[in-house]
A and B are shown apart, each in its own frame.
Chain A
C-alpha cells in the first residue's frame, strides 16, 4: 500500500512538472501580451514598450522565463500582471472560494441524483421507470449548458416579475450591497446558489447516471448476485449489498476523475449568472492578454486533474477490498 502510494505520488509529481512545461510553452509561444500596447494609436514610445517588456520578463529567453516563473510559484508569486495593480495570487484566492462554493454543492447534488437515477433505471431496466428516465437523461446529455442556463435565468426573472417578489436571485454570487447579519448572508448566498447549481448539477447527472446504470446492470447479471438469490436472501438485501454495493467502485472512480471538468463547466455557468469566480477570472484574463494570470489558472486546473486522479486511486483502494489488499 505504501509502495503503491509512493509510486503514484512520484508519477503525479512528474506529470505535474511536464504539465507546467507544456502549459508554459503553449501560453508563452502563442500571442503577444503587449500586442495592444504596440498597436495603440498614437504610437507608444519604444522605451515604454521596452520597460513593460522588462517588467513582464519578455526580454529573457524561454528557459529563463520558465525558471523565473516556476521559481516564483514555489514562493507563492504568480508573476506580474499586465495590469500593474493586479495581484494575481490574491485575486485567485477570493475567486477560488466563490467557484468552490458552486462546485461543491453541485457535485454533492449531482452525485446523489446520479446514484439514485442510475440505480433505479438499472433495477427497472426496460420497464416504466427506465423508459421515462433514460430519454430524459439523453435530453440533458445533449442540452448545451449555456442554453439551459440562459433559459433557467429567463424563467426565474419571469417568475420574479410575475409574482412581484424576488424569489430567485439571478445575478452574481451575492447581493450588492450584502445584507446585514449572519443568517441574512447565509440565506442570500443560498438563494444565489440555486440556479447555477441546478445547471451544473444537471449536466453531470446526465453523464454519471449512465455509468451507475451500467454498473448496477452488470452486478444484476453477475454470478455473485445469482448465488445470493440461490441463498434465499431478501430482495432488499440483494439490492443493497449484492447489486448496489459492488457498483459503488465504478461510480466513485468516475466522479473523482470527472471533478476537474466541473471547473470548465463553471466557466459557462459563471458567465451566464455573472459570478465573479474562476471562470470569469479566466475569460477576463484572456481578454486582457494577461499571460501570467492565464498560466496560473491553467496550472491550478492541471493540479486539480492530477490531484483528483490520485484521489480516485485512493478511493478505489478504500472501496474495493481487492485493491486494498493486493497492493
Chain B
C-alpha cells in the first residue's frame, strides 16, 4: 500500500503533499513578523466575536457621559450624545471582519472557479472568460458599490448585499493568477495521466488542479481581505456603506471629522484600528508568500560582504605604517592596483591594461600558497607559475560543504577541464576565481589569482581583474546578454573599461565579432540579443569575454544550453578564440565527450572533491578512479570519435 502511494506521488508530480505544506509551515513559524501578525489577527477576531457580549455598553446605547475623554469606564471615551466609543469600535470591528471574510470568500470562489476553468479548458472558453475579466475590470469598485448601495430602499444596504457586490467585483486578480498557474500545470504529464486513467473533467479539476493552486489562493486571499476592509470603510466613510443606526469603522471616522480638535479620540481609535487590521493582514500575506515560495538568499553582486569594508580600512591603515614593505602589500591593495602579475606571454605586453611583469610578486604568491611543488596527486606541477591556484578550498552553506578541500592549479595557456555531475561543486569552484560566490557561502582555504591572494577582496578589487585579466562565458547565452541594450552597446561598454572608445572601439568590436566567425558584424551592432539565435548569442558572449585579451577564461558549460548541431560550431569558435589569445582556460562541463576536443588536463569532481587529475590522454586511456570510469561509460563513443578526429 505504501509502495503504491509512493509511485502515485512520483507520477503525479507537483501535487501538494504533506511535506510541502509542512515545510511551508516550518518556514512560516520561523518568520517572527508573520507569526506576530497571525496572533494579532486571531486576537482581534476573538475580541470581535466575544467582547461585544461581555462589554457593559451596547454600540447604540446612550449613556449620561457626553464627550468623555478615554477613562476606565470608557476606555476610548464617548461621543457627543454619550455613546461609548469602545462599544462602537467593537461593532465596527465585527462589521469589518464579517464583511471582509464574506467578500474574500465570495471573490475566492468566483476567481478560483473562473481561473481554473479558463486555464484548464483553454481555447474559446479561456478567451471568453478572459474577456469577462477585462469587462469586470472596467467597473470601478468604489463607484459601482456606492451606486448600488444607494439604490437599496430604506434602511440602507445590508452587510450581506454589500459583501456580495464587493465580492462580485474583486475576484479578477485571483482569476488571472490562477489561470496562469493552471495553464502551466496543464502541460505537465500528471494531468494527462489522470485523464487517460478515466478521470472526468470535474474530477481532474477538483482533485488535481485545485489543490495545486491552494498556496496561490491563500496568498491572494490575504490581499483581497485587506482590500475589502479598505473598500468597505471607504464606502461607509462616504456614506454609501454601513448606515446609521448601525455603525462601522469608516462611519466612525467620518462622523469624527468635525470633532478632531475637540474630541480627537473619536477620530484616532477607529482609524488606527483599520490601519492595524490591514497592516497585520498584509504582513500575514507576506509571510505566507515567503513560506510557500522560499526566496533564495538576497543576491546582489554589487555589494561587498558585511563588515568587509571596515576590515579592509583597518588593514590599509595598518599597511600605511609599514610602507617600506610596499612590495609585499601587492596582495589586493587598492593603492597597488593588483595588475602586476605573472603571465610571461608576449601578447600580454600589448594589452592596454597589463602592467610590467612582476615575477617577484607571483613567486611570492606561489610561495605563500604553501603548495608543495610537484604534488602530482592534486595535479600541481611546478613547470611554470600557475595563473591561478586553489589550495584546500572548502565552500560550505551552513555546515554542509559543497566544495570540500580541493586543490587545483591552472597553468598559463593550458585548458583545464573540470568535469563532474551537476552539484559536484564545479561552478562554485570556478566562481571562487572571480569572486562571485553565492551569498551565504563561507570559504576556507586559499585562492590565488594571477599572483594575488584574493582573500577579503572588495568589488573594486575584483574589478581590476574582471573583464581585463579574467573573463567568463556563462552557460545560457539567452540570459547572459542584457536584453535591453544592443550588441554594439554591450561591446562598447566592455571596451570602455579598457579605455577604448569612439571609432577605435567600433573597429575593435567588428574585429572581435569577425574573430568569432560572425559574418557581417556591422549589421549585428544595432540588434538586440533576442534577435539572434542561441549560437550567435554565445559567439557574441565569447567575443565579449575575449575583448580585453584576458589571461584566464572561465567557460561554465558554454554549450549546454545550445542545440546539438550548434554545439560543435561554438566549441570550435571557443577553441580558436582561446588559441588566439593563448589564455588559460577553465572549462567546466558534465560532458566528457566535449573534453577530449579541447582540454589539456582534466580534473574530475564528485561531491565537492577532486577525485582525479590527469592529462586528457590518461583520463581516456587509463582512468584511475572508479567514478571517472563510470563517467566515461556514459559517453564513450562520442569521446572516442572526437579523439580520433583530433
A residues touching B (Cβ–Cβ < 8 Å)? 14-15, 18-19, 22-23, 26-27, 30-31, 35, 123, 125-127, 138-139, 141-147, 150-151, 154, 158, 217, 220-235, 237-239, 241-243, 245-246, 248-249, 260-261, 263-264, 267-268, 271-272, 282-283, 286-287, 289, 294, 297-298, 301-302, 305-306, 309, 319-322, 325-326
Q: A147-B275, A231-B497, A235-B459 are in contact. Are A18 and B135 (CB under 8 A)?
A: yes
Query: A138 to B285, alpha carbons, bound, how many Å?
Result: 12
Complex interface residues of chain B between 453 and 489 (CB less than 8 A to chain A): 459, 463, 465-468, 471-472, 474, 476, 479-485
Q: Which residues of B contact A282 (CB under 8 A)?
A: 143, 146
- Closest chain B residue to A217 by CB distance? B298
Q: How far apart are the CA atoms of A268 and B254 in the complex, in Å? A: 11
Query: Nearest-CB distance from B196 to chain A (Å)?
Result: 36
Q: 6 shortest A-B CB distances, which residue pairs?
A: A232-B467, A31-B151, A142-B278, A221-B299, A302-B138, A223-B479
Q: List 23 A-B contacts (CB under 8 A).
A: A15-B131, A30-B148, A138-B282, A142-B275, A144-B230, A146-B234, A146-B253, A147-B253, A147-B271, A150-B267, A151-B267, A224-B479, A227-B474, A230-B472, A231-B497, A231-B544, A241-B485, A241-B493, A246-B484, A268-B234, A272-B257, A298-B143, A321-B528
Instruction: Knowing that A151-B271, A227-B544 touch, tell me 14 more A-B residue pairs with CB under 8 angstroms.
Output: A125-B300, A138-B283, A144-B250, A146-B254, A154-B260, A220-B299, A223-B480, A227-B472, A227-B541, A230-B474, A231-B494, A241-B482, A261-B140, A282-B146
Asked if B275 contacts A144 (CB within 8 A), the reply is: yes
**CB–CB B484/A123 < 8 A:** no
CB < 8 Å neighbour of A154 from B226, B261, B480, B482: B261
CB distance A301 to B140 under 8 Å? yes
CB <8 Å contact, B301 and A144: no
Instruction: Return the chain A residue nearest B528 by Cβ.
Output: A321
State in angstroms the CA–CA spacing of A51 and B279 once bound together: 54
Q: Among the interface residues A150, A249, A263, which one has the most CB atoms of the partner chain B within 10 A? A: A150
A18's nearest neighbour on chain B, judged by CB, is B135
Given the complex of chains A and B, what is the CA–CA distance between A143 and B274 in angstroms?
7
Closest A residue by C-beta to B236: A146
A226 touches B302 (CB 8 A): no
Chain B: CB-nearest residue to A260: B140
**Least CB distance, B464 to chain A, in whole angstroms:** 8
B425-446: contact bitstring with A at CB < 8 Å (1 yes, 0 no)? Answer: 0000000001010000000000
| CB-CB nearest in chain B for A139 | B279
The reply to whether B233 and A144 form a contact with Cβ atoms under 8 Å apart is yes
Q: Which residues of B contact A (CB under 8 A)?
A: 131, 134-135, 137-144, 146-148, 150-151, 153, 226, 230, 233-234, 237-238, 240, 250, 253-254, 257, 260-261, 267, 271, 274-279, 282-283, 296, 298-303, 434, 436, 459, 463, 465-468, 471-472, 474, 476, 479-485, 493-494, 497, 528, 530-531, 541, 544, 547-548
Q: Which residues of B contact A287 (CB under 8 A)?
A: 150
User: In the complex, what residue of chain A is closest to B302 when comparing beta carbons?
Assistant: A235
Interface centre among B131, B148, B234, B436 (most CB of A within 10 A): B234
Question: Do B257 and A150 touch (CB < 8 A)?
Answer: yes
Inter-chain CA distance A224–B481, complex, in Å, is 5
Which residues of the partner chain A approach B493 to less than 8 Å between Cβ atoms?
231, 233, 237, 241
Cβ–Cβ < 8 Å partners of A144 in chain B? 230, 233-234, 237, 250, 253, 271, 274-275, 278
Known contacts A23-B139, A305-B138; decide if A229 and B483 are in contact (CB<8 Å).
Answer: no
**Contacts known (A142-B226, A144-B271, A221-B299); A325 close to B531, Cβ less than 8 A:** yes
Please measure, in the bound complex, the distance between the C-alpha atom of A147 and the C-alpha atom of B541, giving whole angstroms: 55
Beta-carbon contact of B483 and A27 below 8 Å:
no
Question: Chain A's nearest CB lies how many Å from the CB of B643?
Answer: 32
Q: Hey, which chain A residues are within 8 Å of B276, CB to CB?
A: 142
Max chain A Cβ within 10 angstroms of own Cβ: one of B296, B302, B474: B302
Residues of B contacting A245 in the complex (Cβ-Cβ under 8 angstroms): 482, 484-485
Residues of A within 8 A of B135 (CB): 15, 18-19, 22
Chain A residues with Cβ below 8 Å from B530 are 321-322, 325-326
Give the nearest-CB partner of A229 in chain B. B301
A267 touches B238 (CB 8 A): yes
Given known A301-B143, A321-B483, contact A142–B282 (CB-CB < 8 A): yes
| Smallest beta-carbon distance A215→chain B, Å | 12
Count of A-B residue pairs with CB < 8 Å: 220
Determine how close the nearest CB of chain A comes to the CB of B521; give it in whole angstroms.
18
Question: Could you tell me the distance between the alpha carbons of A151 and B268 in the complex, rounded to whole angstroms?
Answer: 9
How far, in whole Å, are A145 and B133 apart by their CA atoms in the complex? 26
Q: What chain A residues lie within 8 Å of B144 (beta carbons)?
A: 26, 298
CA gap between A267 and B61 in the complex, in Å: 33
Name the residue on A nearest B277 (C-beta): A142
A27 vs B147: C-alpha distance when bound (angstroms) = 8
Residue from A147, A267, A298 whose CB has the most chain B CB atoms within 10 Å: A147
Q: A227 to B303, alpha carbons, bound, how many Å?
A: 15
How far is it, in angstroms, between the C-alpha of A282 and the C-alpha of B145 when the chains are bound? 12
Instruction: Report the Cα distance A322→B483, complex, angstroms.
Output: 8
CB distance from A218 to the nearest CB of B (A): 10
Distance between Cα atoms of A18 and B128 in the complex (Å): 12
Once A30-B148, A241-B482, A321-B484 are accepted as A-B contacts, the answer to whether A143 and B275 lie under 8 Å apart by CB is: yes
**A contact residues around B494 at 8 Å (CB):** 231-233
Q: Give the chain B neighbours of A264 by CB distance below 8 A.
A: 140-143
Q: Per a CB cutoff under 8 Å, which of B250, B254, B277, B300 touches A220? A: B300
> Across the interface, which residues of A come within 8 angstroms of B148, CB to CB?
26, 30
Once bound together, how far apart are the Cα atoms of A62 and B19, in whole Å? 57
Q: Which of chain B's residues have a CB closer than 8 A to the CB of A298? A: 139-140, 143-144, 147
Interfacial chain B residues near A301, Cβ < 8 Å? 138-140, 143
Identify the closest chain B residue to A288 (Cβ): B150
Q: Are B467 and A139 in contact (CB under 8 A)?
A: no
B261 CB to nearest A CB, Å: 7
Q: How far is the CA of A138 from the CA of B281 in the complex (A)?
A: 11
Complex contact A246–B482 (CB within 8 A):
yes
Asked if B260 and A150 make an inter-chain contact with CB atoms under 8 angstroms apart, the answer reads: yes
* Chain B min CB distance to A149 (Å): 10
Q: How far, in whole Å, are A26 and B143 apart by their CA atoms in the complex?
A: 12
Q: For A297, give the chain B residue with the smallest CB separation.
A: B143
A154: nearest chain-B partner, CB-CB: B260
Chain B nearest Cβ from A243, distance in angstroms: 8
Residues of chain A lying within 8 A (CB to CB) of residue B299? 220-221
Closest to A236 in B: B302
Q: Are B302 and A146 in contact (CB under 8 A)?
A: no
Contact B253 A294 (CB under 8 A): no
Q: Nearest Cβ distance between residue B538 and chain A, in whole angstroms? A: 12
Cα A309 to Cα B240 in complex, Å, equals 29
- Bound: A63/B598 CA distance, A: 78
The reply to whether A271 and B250 contact each other, CB–CB distance below 8 Å, is no
Q: What residues of chain B lie closer than 8 Å to A325, measured between beta carbons? A: 528, 530-531
Contacts of A239 in B (CB 8 A): 302
Q: Residues of A contacting B151 with CB < 8 Å?
A: 30-31, 289
B254 surroundings in chain A (CB, below 8 A) = 146
Q: What are the residues of chain B within 8 A of A127 when measuring CB–CB?
A: 303
Closest B residue by C-beta to A309: B134
Contacts of A289 in B (CB 8 A): 150-151
Residues of the A chain whose Cβ atoms lie less than 8 Å from the Cβ of B296: 221
CA distance A233 to B541 in the complex (A): 15
Assess the B275–A139 pair: CB atoms within 8 A: yes
Q: Which residue of A lies closest to B468 (CB)?
A: A232
How far apart are the CA atoms of A127 and B275 in the complex, in Å? Answer: 26
- Closest-by-CB residue of A relative to B480 is A227
| B474–A223 CB distance below 8 A | yes
Contact A229-B140, Cβ < 8 Å, known A144-B271, A242-B482, A325-B528 = no
In the complex, the chain A residue whose C-beta lies closest to that of B296 is A221
Query: CA A204 – CA B463 in complex, angstroms?
Result: 39
Taken together as a complex, chains A and B put the C-alpha atoms of A30 and B146 apart, in Å, by 12
- Provide the residues of chain B in CB contact with A139, threshold 8 Å: 275, 279
Q: Which residue of B lies closest to A134 (CB)?
A: B286
A50 to chain B, nearest CB (A): 22
Return chain B residues, CB-CB under 8 Å to A223. 474, 476, 479-480
- Chain B residues with Cβ below 8 Å from A217 are 298
